Amino acid sequence: MFSFSIEGITNQIFACKITMVVDMRQNKVFSFRLLIKISLDILAFIVAYIASNMLRYSLPESITHIKEAALYIPVLASIRLITFFIFRLYSSIWRYSSLHDLKNIIKATTSGTLFVILLGYILNVYMLSRFTVVMEWLLVIFFTGGVRLAARYMYERPMSLHRNNNFMPGAKRVLIYGAGRAGEMLMRNIQNTSSSNTGIGINVIGFVDDDPAKQGRYIHEKRVIGEGKNIRDLVEKYRITDIYFAVSALSGAEARKILGCAI
């Protein structure tokens, strides 16, 4: 004997419809963003080609060369797009662009340039002179990398307005012990998350490190202000409320000893 609920089936159908609507909206947003990315890169390819010719020739000569090679520009742009897709440059999120993305841009641009040279050799077609080949390669990397860097800057700019929490009620005044790679990663993580609306901010006053060579240096605009032996004076001077340890080789006993000196 089977039983079923009309209300339960109706709720499931309604939930499925909502899921389908959300998926459709997400796909539209993704397609729109992809179109913007491709459009910006195509513009970068065209500008790089025109600029490389203008750097090689005088203005009248460069205009003549550009007009003669107008049919080749779509071919060059298409080859560039294909190599950019191959190296997954449109699968990455631009606001998180990093050195890894720059390496992929260099690889994709180099592959495209080599393919253009090979294609021109096979078809015996003039597309780029030796100088413009090098300049166009450099400018493509510069412009496409610059677009991604600008996207990251535009994303991080609003966050940076919230990073100075000196006047935020209840903000923690923090020292980071360790100005190495772990300290840099911790600082970057704090910068990326401190703008969330948690009600309590984190104001990193600076770094502490026992390496004399690091004294006075800056990591993400925060200065290495002293050594571990001076930590009590630093806590009193800067009214520190928290100390974050970013030293992988530091044992629990050593951390407790440092904290004991700070109190």
* Contacts (Cβ under 8 Å, ≥6 apart) of 163: 191, 194, 195
Domains of the chain: 7-160 (no CATH), 172-262 (3.40.50.720)
Strands 242-245, 172-177: pairing kind: parallel
Q: Is 258 left (phi over 0), alpha (psi -120 to 50) or beta?
A: alpha
| Residue 230 to residue 184: CA distance in whole angstroms | 21
Work out the end-to-end distance of the chain between its first and last CA atoms, rounded to an integer number of angstroms: 73
Provide the residue-wise pLDDT of the chain in tens; the chain has 263 residues: 444 455 554 455 444 444 444 444 555 555 888 899 999 999 999 999 889 888 887 778 777 777 777 778 888 899 999 999 999 999 888 877 888 999 999 999 999 999 988 988 888 776 677 888 899 999 999 999 999 999 888 877 655 555 554 445 567 889 999 898 898 989 888 877 755 444 457 889 999 998 999 999 999 889 999 988 888 899 999 999 888 988 877 666 666 666 666 55
Q: Which amino acid is at 35?
A: L
